Amino acid sequence: MAAKNTSDGSAGNFGDQNNGTAKPHMQPVGMIGRINSFDNNIKSWELFFQRFEQYSSVNRISVDNQVACLLSVMGAKTYGLLRSLHNNNRKTQGQEPG
């Protein structure tokens, strides 16, 4: 796996090839392992979350930071679904979507 310096000076790892284009996998320096975005066509949420728990444990991610980390690694599609469900719930409760 090759590393590439990005415009902000961080290092991005490039993983699997997909139709000739590389998918970036951002990982902080010094982190152990890698969590790919959740894809329900490949694995269940339960399996993804178990892997996330192990990733959090081995990398000593504090409980205070685990929610932010999970939101960061779950992927855009899953994050969008979560936001949509959250906004619909707020509308049902008569609150302004956030």
In the chain, DSSP finds a helix count (H) and a strand count (E) of 3, 3
Q: Per-residue pLDDT tens for 20-47?
A: 454 555 555 678 999 889 998 988 999 9
Residue ranges covered by each domain of the chain: 1-30, 36-98
Per-residue pLDDT, 37: 92
Is residue 4 pLDDT above 70, yes or no? no
Per-residue pLDDT, 25: 55
Q: CA-CA distance, 89 to 86, in Å (whole number)?
A: 5
Q: Per-residue pLDDT tens for 60-90?
A: 999 999 999 999 999 999 999 999 998 876 6
Per-residue pLDDT, 26: 56
Q: CA-CA distance, 95 to 37, in Å (whole number)?
A: 30
Per-residue pLDDT, 30: 76
Of residues 8 and 88, more confidently modeled: 88
Q: CA-CA distance, 63 to 75, in Å (whole number)?
A: 20
In single-letter form, the type of residue at position 12 comes to G
User: pTM of the prediction?
Assistant: 0.58
Alpha helices in the chain (DSSP H): 45-58, 63-73, 76-92
Q: In which order are the strands placed within the sheet that holds 3-5?
A: 3-5, 11-18, 21-26
Among 78, 85, 84, which residue's Cα sits nearest to residue 41?
78
